[in-house]
């Protein structure tokens, strides 16, 4: 399913699979746009970082935070390049740099694949 957006974890009470990994992080866990129902595409999980995929990445980022310059997360759900913030409408400190990089990336993707990508802060683009 090209538009599958959840992990593949099992839920013993429901016949639905998975958790929306984007909404499983500790930051603003299960906040606006997330669902508490396991069958919804935006299900945030039973608790923050309940998914092994999210927990592993979160632990890695915390352990190496002094050395990480950027973190990219690729999703197959839609043709969009999104960047912070998704939980508020504020502008990130390095907005101009990120905006320029996003523009160049979607331009390159279009030149190679002919596919138009939307880009921008997740809070406004979505």
At 100-112, the pLDDT tens digits run: 999 999 999 999 9
76, pLDDT greater than 70: no
Same domain membership, residue 36 and residue 12: yes
Q: Is residue 120 part of a domain?
A: yes
Same domain membership, residue 58 and residue 18: yes
Q: How far apart are CA 44 and CA 38, in angstroms?
A: 8
Q: Is residue 58 part of a domain?
A: yes
Same domain membership, residue 5 and residue 45: yes
Taking each continuous run of H as one helix and of E as one strand, the counts in the chain are 3, 2
pLDDT tens per residue across span 4-19 = 889 999 988 999 999 9
Count of domains forming the chain: 2
* Structural domain that includes position 14: 1-70
Tell me the whole-structure pTM to 2 decimals: 0.78
Q: Is residue 75 part of a domain?
A: no
């Amino acid at each position: 399913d090209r538009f599958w957006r959840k992990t593949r974890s099992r839920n013993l009470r429901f016949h639905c699979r998975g958790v929306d990994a984007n909404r499983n992080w500790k930051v603003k866990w299960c906040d606006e746009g997330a669902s508490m129902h396991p069958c919804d595409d935006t299900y945030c999980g039973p608790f923050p970082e309940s998914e092994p995929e999210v927990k592993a990445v979160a632990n890695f980022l915390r352990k190496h935070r002094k050395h990480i310059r950027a973190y990219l997360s690729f999703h197959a759900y839609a043709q969009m390049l999104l960047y912070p913030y998704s939980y508020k409408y504020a502008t990130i400190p390095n907005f101009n740099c990120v905006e320029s990089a996003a523009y160049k990336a979607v331009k390159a993707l279009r030149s190679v694949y002919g596919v138009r990508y939307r880009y921008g802060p997740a809070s406004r683009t979505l």
